[in-house]
A and B are shown apart, each in its own frame.
Chain A
Amino acid sequence: MISFSQVRKSYRGGHEALAELSFAIDSGELVFITGRSGAGKSTLLKLIPAIERPTSGTVLVNGQNIGSMRRAAIPYLRRNLGLIFQDQKLLYDRSVFDNVMLPLAFTGHAYKDAARRARAALDKVGLLAREKANPVTLSGGEQQRLCIARAVVNRPSILLADEPTASLDSTSAAEVVEMFRSFNQVGVTVLIATHDEGLVQRLNPRVLALKQGRLES
C-alpha cells in the first residue's frame, strides 16, 4: 500500500532530511513513526501525499509513484488520504461544521449528502454538539478531534497524523490515540508520527524509529 525504497530527501540548501529509507506498510496496518525532533518524521509523512517529492528513490502509494506523479493527478491522490497536520490548519473564519464540509466541496457531493457525512464524522469524534461553534472556542483536544473529523469525512483508506498528541494533556492524548485505533480496527491504514515514547510503549504497535533521517533498528 505504501512503500519506500532507497528514499533520499534533501531540502534546498543541501540539508539531508531522509537518507536511504526503505520500508513497506500493508493495508490495514497501524504504524508509529518515532524519533527526536528533526529526525525526519514530518518529511516522511509529507512524501506520501506528494507535499514533498523524494530527491531520489521511489515512494509508491497505492501503486502510484509519487516522484513522477503529474501535478494534475495530485489532488486525486490526496482525496484518498486523510491528513492531520502538525499545525492543524483549521480555518477560524467558519464554524466547526463548515471546516468539516471543506473536503466535500470539491468531490461532487450534493449539499444534503455532504452535510449528513460531515455530521456523521463530527459524531464519531464527539463534536456534533459543537458544530456551530468557531474552532477558536474549542479546547486543544477538541481542536485535534476536529482535525480528525475533517481528515476522515471523505472516508480515506490511509490516515496520516503528524504529532497529533503533541499539545495535549495525557487524557486527551489517550482519547485521540484511541480514536485512531478504532479507525484502524475498521480497516483504515494509520501512520502516526510522534516523539512521545510513552505513548508508543503503552500500545506496542509496529514502530519505524528514525534517527537523523535513517531507520534505527
Chain B
Amino acid sequence: MSNWLRQHWQTLVLTLRRLGRSPGATLLNVMVIGIALALPLGGYMLLQNLGAVAHRVAGTPQVSLFLARDADKADIAALEARLKRLPGVRGLRFISREQALQDLKQSENFADVLSALQTNPLPDAFVLETAGGAAELEQLEPQLKALPKVAHVQLDSAWVKRLESLLQLGRTAVLILAALLACGLVAVTFNTIRLQILTQKDEIEVSKLIGATDAFIRRPFFHLGLIQGTLGGLAALAIVYLCTLILNRSIGELAQLYGSDFRLSFFGPGDCLALLAFAAILGWLGAYMSVSRHLSGIEPR
C-alpha cells in the first residue's frame, strides 16, 4: 500500500516537473481546455441566474381580471366583495379604465397612438395577488372566469412559464454545447498525450525492455491527463469568475436604474468541485484513449 502510494507520488512529482519543463505548451493546453469549458460554464451560470430571477418574480403571482365594457359601478362593487372573499387572496387592486389610459399615456411609446384615439379602448380591471404559487392560480382560473361581468382573465404567471420554457431551451443548448466541448477537451488531451508518448518513445522502449509493467508505463500519462484536465477546469472557473466580476459592474449600474439590486452570482464550492471533477475525468478519459491507442505501438525489437 505504502509502496503503491509512493509510486503514485513519485509519478506525480515527475509529471509536474515535466509540465514545468515546457511551461509554454502546458499553458496553451490549459488555456484551450479552460476556454472550451468556460463557454458552457458561463452559459450555465447565466441561466442559473435568470432562473433565480424568474422564480423571484413568480414568487408573487398575479391575475388580471378585465371586466366587460358594460360593467357599472354596482357591478364593480359586487365583484370586489366576492373577490375579497375568495380563499388565498392577499392583495386586490382596482385599476379603472381612465387610470389605465393615464398610465399608458405616461409611456412615450404609446402617447401618440393613444392621443389619436377618440374613445378609451381600455377596460376596467382588477389585479389579484394570491399567497399560493402559480399552480394554485391556475386552479383558480375557471372560477374567476365564471364570475359575472368578467370578460377576460390574464394569468401573469403565463410569461413566467414562457420564460421557464425558454430557460429550459437554453439549458438544453448549453448541455449540447458542453457535450461537444467535452469531446473537444478529450481530443486535446488525447493529442497532448500522443505527443508526450512520442517524445518519450525511447524511454518507454527501454523501460519495457528492462522490466517495467504496462501499468507503470501508463501511469504518468494518466497523471498528465488528470492534471491537465484539472488545471483546465481551474482556468475555466477563473475565466467565468472574471467575466462575472466585469459583468456585475455594468449590471450594477443598470440594475440601479431599475431600482433593483440584481447581481450575477457565481457558483458555490460544490458546483466548482463538481466541475473540477468533471474536467479531471475528461482529462483522464483522453489520456486513457490515447494510451490505449498509442502505447501498444511501441514494442521493442
Binding site for B on A (CB under 8 A): 49, 51, 72, 75-79, 81, 83, 85, 89, 91, 93, 102-103, 105-108, 110-111, 150, 154
Closest Cβ of chain B to A147, distance in Å, is: 11
Cα A150 to Cα B210 with chains together (Å): 9
Asked, given contacts A105-B10, A108-B3, A108-B7, whether A75 binds B212 with beta carbons under 8 Å apart, the answer is yes
* Chain B positions within 8 Å of A93 at CB level: 202-203
Cα A72 to Cα B211 with chains together (Å): 10
Query: Cβ of B206 < 8 Å from any Cβ of A?
Result: yes
- In contact, B206 and A91 (Cβ under 8 angstroms): yes
Cα A90 to Cα B209 with chains together (Å): 12
Cα A94 to Cα B147 with chains together (Å): 90
Query: Cβ of B205 < 8 Å from any Cβ of A?
Result: yes
Closest Cβ of chain B to A158, distance in Å, is: 13
Query: Cβ of B216 < 8 Å from any Cβ of A?
Result: yes
Closest Cβ of chain B to A44, distance in Å, is: 15
* Chain B positions within 8 Å of A78 at CB level: 209-211
Asked, given contacts A105-B10, A108-B3, whether A89 binds B205 with beta carbons under 8 Å apart, the answer is yes
* Chain B positions within 8 Å of A106 at CB level: 7, 207, 211-213, 216
Q: Which 4 pairs from chain A and chain B are nearest by CB?
A: A79-B211, A78-B211, A106-B216, A75-B211
Bitwise interface map of B from 261 to 287 toward A, beta carbon under 8 Å scored 1, else 0: 000000000000000000000000000
* Chain A positions within 8 Å of B207 at CB level: 102, 105-106
Closest Cβ of chain B to A100, distance in Å, is: 11
Closest Cβ neighbor of A85 among chain B residues:
B209
Which of B6, B202, B209, B213 is in CB contact (< 8 Å) with A83? B209
For residues 179 through 207 of chain B, which have their beta carbon under 8 Å from a beta carbon of chain A?
202-203, 205-207
Cα A91 to Cα B7 with chains together (Å): 21
Closest Cβ neighbor of B212 among chain A residues:
A106
Which of B6, B202, B208, B211 is in CB contact (< 8 Å) with A91? B202
- In contact, B3 and A102 (Cβ under 8 angstroms): no
Q: How many A-B Cβ pairs are below 8 Å?
A: 56
Closest Cβ of chain B to A61, distance in Å, is: 13
Cα A106 to Cα B14 with chains together (Å): 13
Closest Cβ neighbor of A80 among chain B residues:
B211
Closest Cβ of chain B to A160, distance in Å, is: 11
Q: How many residues of B contact A (CB 8 A)?
A: 19
Binding site for A on B (CB under 8 A): 3, 6-7, 10, 202-203, 205-214, 216, 300-301
Cα A77 to Cα B210 with chains together (Å): 9
* Chain A positions within 8 Å of B6 at CB level: 108, 110
Cα A132 to Cα B272 with chains together (Å): 45
* Chain A positions within 8 Å of B206 at CB level: 89, 91, 102
Closest Cβ neighbor of A151 among chain B residues:
B210
- In contact, A51 and B211 (Cβ under 8 angstroms): no
Cα A102 to Cα B212 with chains together (Å): 9
* Chain A positions within 8 Å of B203 at CB level: 91, 93, 102
Closest Cβ of chain B to A207, distance in Å, is: 26
7 of the cross-chain contacts (CB-CB < 8 Å) are A72-B213, A75-B208, A78-B209, A91-B202, A105-B212, A106-B213, A108-B6
* Chain B positions within 8 Å of A102 at CB level: 203, 206-207, 210
- In contact, B213 and A75 (Cβ under 8 angstroms): yes
Cα A213 to Cα B19 with chains together (Å): 48
* Chain A positions within 8 Å of B205 at CB level: 89
Closest Cβ of chain B to A45, distance in Å, is: 12
Cα A72 to Cα B7 with chains together (Å): 19
Asked, given contacts A51-B300, A108-B3, A108-B7, whether A103 binds B210 with beta carbons under 8 Å apart, the answer is yes
Closest Cβ neighbor of A150 among chain B residues:
B210
Cα A154 to Cα B216 with chains together (Å): 17
- In contact, A103 and B211 (Cβ under 8 angstroms): yes
Closest Cβ of chain A to B268, distance in Å, is: 41
Closest Cβ of chain A to B221, distance in Å, is: 15
* Chain A positions within 8 Å of B300 at CB level: 51
Q: Find the residue from B206, B216, B300 having the highest chain A CB count within 10 A.
A: B206
Known: A83-B210, A91-B203, A105-B212. 15 other contacts (CB 8 A): A51-B301, A75-B208, A78-B210, A78-B211, A83-B209, A93-B202, A93-B203, A102-B206, A102-B210, A103-B211, A106-B211, A106-B212, A106-B216, A111-B10, A150-B210
